[in-house]
A and B are shown apart, each in its own frame.
Chain A
Amino acid sequence: MNGRLGGWLRGRLGLDVFTHLAEKKEVPVHKHSFWYYWGGMTLFLFGVQVGTGILLLLYYRASADEAYESVRFIMTQVHFGWLIRSIHSWSANLMVGAAMVHMFSVFLMKGYRAPREATWFSGMALLGLALAFGFSGYLLPWNQLAFFATKVGTDITGDLPLLGPFLKRFLLGGEQITGGTLTRFYGFHVAVLPAITTALLGLHLYLVQFHGMSVPPSVEAAGGPRRSLKFVPEFLLRDSVGWLAALGVLGLLAALFPWELGLKADPYVPAPPGIRPEWYFGWMFQTLRVLPAHVLGFEGEFLGIIAIGLAAAVWLLVPLLDDPLGRDRRARLWTAVGWLAIAYVVILTGLSYR
């Protein structure tokens, strides 16, 4: 940013603040540095979602009579419509995957320790938003799979104690899944969730910037990282290699496995065999499938939902429960909990495909 135009822009836009920040930001280098790339990867895929999502908005029609037909129109008539929609669907899945890798690696590297509790909380909220995006977006093509996935998902909400029935009605916009539900989910998907996400993402990125990158306890104990990379341009260039690869993978997946549309939703056909939710809900799906009808006098589904809720709450609160230094017995216990959680999610997700 030199020359007259550069100087003019610097003065008008206050660019020095950003130049200063960019120069200051560094990324520690140690044997676990690989995991630092996954937050950026999630962010990149989110960008892809925003871009392809805006494009889809130009043709999509949110009503029970037209939604399915408009998505079919996108897939069959619009130039590269199949590509844009398939990338949107694939990128959604990869984004949740990247976010989960990011979360589990932060958990195992104990990046949530003081003073980064709020970073962890905002990250968990963002993951919740990503799942909400996935759940609301899943209904929009108005196909059979979407219809029953939404039915099961909202019925689970209805089983929550106290607020459940209210929340279910709030989500559905009534007692049953109707065109009204579709409009509502569409509103959540393209307006409400993006607005909340923008604010939270801003907070999350600000906190990462403010606290700097966390270093795992093992590296801290060994006297801290020996070396660091400048974020601009060294780390960013490495980041962009990953992003480029992700873009290639997305194109490949979309071309080889274009996202299916299935049959149009009809409230008066049975749930089709082989129905399942998106893979990232698979472990919860499998948990609810294997629980018997009654456990200790409670309905199995109710107990399952409560157990998953409690586990999520404990997971969320780990920054307050773990040892701040990350070295004593308590810290080892939480590391074990992290590995157990990964094993549970991986194994049950696998089983849900049987």
Chain B
Amino acid sequence: MRRRSFLDWLVGIFGTALAALVAYPVARFLVPPKIPEATTRRVLAAQPDELAPGAFKIFPFGSRAGILIRDADGGYRALSAECTHLACTVQYRKESHSIWCACHNGVYDVEGRNVSGPPPRPLEKWVVHVTAEGVVVELGARA
């Protein structure tokens, strides 16, 4: 190998190594760190008399959103509020007694089953306990 081409190689190798040395931390910096999160299993979703029959609320369930619906007969149901289509937050519609997503017109029944529109899967159903401290929602049965 001639001295000239040897030096070219050397510059190339060192140059690439240097570029990689700079690029690696930059690339790692750009990717957000994974923050370990305690899995939420149980939350207090509402105060005892917060919801009138026919009303609903969206409540935080860990980093997710849940929907708590109070039926006309006073019973409660809780489901994941994240639409299975493109993750918008759903709402309860009293008139049709159904769950509706405004983003792409997806409709579920109150059991969380996808009835019409684009949602491909049912909403996850959670378990409700009515206790002295309020309405407690817990992971558990799936729809």
User: Hey, which bits of chain A sit against chain B, CB under 8 A?
Assistant: 148, 151-152, 155-156, 166, 169-170, 172-176, 180, 267-275, 285, 288-289, 291-294, 299-301
Contact B90 A270 (CB under 8 A): yes
Interface residue count for B (Cβ, 8 Å)?
29
Q: With a CB–CB cut-off of 8 A, which chain B residues contact A166?
A: 31
Given the known inter-chain contacts A169-B32, A176-B63, please indicate yes or no for A301 contacting B87, CB distance below 8 A: no
Main secondary structure of the interface of B (DSSP, over half): loop
User: Hey, which bits of chain B sit against chain A, CB under 8 A?
Assistant: 30-32, 35, 58-60, 63, 65, 67, 81, 83, 85-91, 101-105, 114, 117-120
**Interchain Cβ contacts within 8 Å, total number:** 82
**Residue in B58, B89, B90, B102 with the greatest tally of chain A CB atoms within 10 Å:** B89
Bound-complex Cα distance A288 to B119 (A): 10
**Residue in B58, B67, B86 with the greatest tally of chain A CB atoms within 10 Å:** B86
Bound-complex Cα distance A173 to B89 (A): 20
Bound-complex Cα distance A174 to B65 (A): 16
Contact B102 A269 (CB under 8 A): no
Q: With a CB–CB cut-off of 8 A, which chain B residues contact A275?
A: 88, 102-103
Contact A151 B120 (CB under 8 A): no
* Seed contacts A267-B65, A272-B102, A288-B104; 15 additional CB < 8 Å A-B pairs: A152-B86, A152-B103, A152-B104, A166-B31, A170-B31, A267-B60, A270-B67, A270-B81, A271-B89, A271-B102, A275-B102, A291-B118, A293-B119, A300-B120, A301-B118
Identity of the chain B residue whose Cβ is nearest the Cβ of A192 in the assembled complex = B30
Contact B118 A269 (CB under 8 A): no
Q: List 14 A-B contacts (CB under 8 A).
A: A148-B89, A166-B31, A169-B32, A170-B31, A174-B32, A267-B89, A268-B59, A271-B83, A275-B102, A285-B104, A289-B105, A289-B118, A294-B120, A301-B120
